[in-house]
Amino acid sequence: MDQPVREAAELLGRARRVVVFTGAGMSAESGVPTFRDALTGLWQRYDAQALATPEAFRADPALVWGWYEWRRHTVRLARPNPGHRAVAAIQARVPGTVLITQNVDDLHERAGSSDPVHLHGSLFAPRCSACAHPAPTPDDAEGEPADGRRVPPPDCARCAAPVRPGVVWFGEALPGAALEAAVEAASSCDLLVTVGTSGLVYPAAEIPQVAARLGAAVIQVNPEQTPLDPIAEVNLRGPAATVLPALVD
Ligand code: BV8
Ligand code: ZN
């Protein structure tokens, strides 16, 4: 076990109140493309940040709904990777560990993690764009939802307005209860492990910084440098599915 991994394993062994904070890199090895390095499909022709907005949905609901159908289909085909399972192992080993994720997939839940705090919502919680009435998660659109194919959103059963994805779009406020729970956990932990996030999107990117400011040790797992490097006591430069299991073995 190389030095930084040993150091990180010791920090984890001594920690009493742990937070695990994950971004899209957590699911990369499950085949779920991240925003930044996904030069595939729609993302080549459209900037994801431009598509993940209320304006884009208003302008072209079928294009945006079709994009989320395709992303949900990709997640349904994906399987949790050893990194997701290592996070669940940390939760089992250190009772009270709080998992906070920016991801809208359900791979943490499928790996056995309990109650992840979804700061940016979920692909599996569509709701009415007008009255917020929860809508059923549709099965995959007939045939394989092809990347970039328009799929008109279903109508709300209650008010007939278009159903929207249950995610937080750019320019939208995060769910108050989720953000509050995340800040509360980050403010009272003694160790925060941040995995697979570029640390660029706010206010989520504040979470590891709050923990560091209040004296928690921070371990970062990311193959690349990020703005969170300076607050990390240990920077583990590698992919989540390899590095995290080494931490819990
Ligand atoms: C808000 C859900 C205010 C949707 C997401 C200027 C103009 C407009 C807005 C802003 C602006 N400046 C700041 C803002 C605010 C904006 C923001 O921060 N923009 C950034 C881009 C500058 N934030 C917002 O708009 C937020 N809302 O501010 O509202 C407000 C307040 C009150 C009332 C009304 C309004 C809302 C932000 C949430 C947006 N929704 N997701 C969807 O999924 O479609 S964000 C989405 O992108 C992800 O959830 C993630 O958080 C973020 C980044 O995605 P990625 O880059 O793919 O992932 P990540 O960052 O995690 O990077 C991948 C990392 O993994 C990399 O570091 C890579 O090295 C690493 N990696 C790769 N492989 C691996 C790996 N790591 C480990 N293992 C591997 N194998
Ligand atoms: Zn409605």
pLDDT digits (tens, 9 = 90+) for 6-47: 999 999 999 999 999 999 999 999 999 887 765 555 566 677
pLDDT of residue 244: 98
Query: How many domains would you assign to the chain?
Result: 2
**Domain extent at residue 57:** 33-77+127-164
CB 107 within 8 A of CB 91: no
Residue 169 lies in a domain: no
Residues 106 and 155 in one domain: no
**Alpha-carbon torsion 10, 16, 17, 22, what sign?**
positive
What element of type H or E holds 150?
A: none
Which residues contact residue 188 at a Cβ distance below 8 angstroms, ignoring those fewer than 6 apart?
17, 214
Pick out the residues of the known binding site: 68, 71, 102-105, 128, 131, 156, 159, 196-198, 222-224, 240
CB 27 within 8 A of CB 107: yes
Which residues contact residue 17 at a Cβ distance below 8 angstroms, ignoring those fewer than 6 apart?
96, 188, 189, 190, 191
pLDDT of residue 140: 76
Which residues contact residue 148 at a Cβ distance below 8 angstroms, ignoring those fewer than 6 apart?
41, 42, 45, 66, 67, 70
pLDDT of residue 1: 67
Residues 179 and 62 in one domain: no
Dump strand ranges (E) for 50-120: 98-101, 117-118
ipTM above 0.90, yes or no: yes
Q: Name the average pLDDT for the chain.
A: 93
pLDDT of residue 145: 65
CATH number for 56? 3.30.1600.10
**From ligand 1's centre to the CA of 110, what distance in Å?**
23
pLDDT digits (tens, 9 = 90+) for 200-225: 999 999 999 999 999 999 999 999 99
Collect the ranges in the chain with pLDDT lower than 50: none
pLDDT of residue 220: 98
Residues 71 and 87 in one domain: no
Half-sphere exposure of 229 (CA within 13 A, CB side): 7
pLDDT of residue 43: 62
Residue 193 lies in a domain: yes
Choose one of 164, 189, 219: the last residue of a domain: 164
Residues 228 and 117 in one domain: yes
Report residue 116 as tokens: 């992840």
Q: What percent of the chain has pLDDT over 90?
A: 85
CATH number for 90? 3.40.50.1220
Residue 223 lies in a domain: yes
Residue 115 lies in a domain: yes
How big is the chain, counted in residues?
249
Pocket of ligand 1 (CB under 6 A): 23-25, 28-29, 34-36, 49, 52, 102, 104, 120, 167-173, 196-198, 200-202, 204, 221-224, 226, 239-240
Residue 249 lies in a domain: yes
Residues 225 and 143 in one domain: no
Residues 69 and 85 in one domain: no
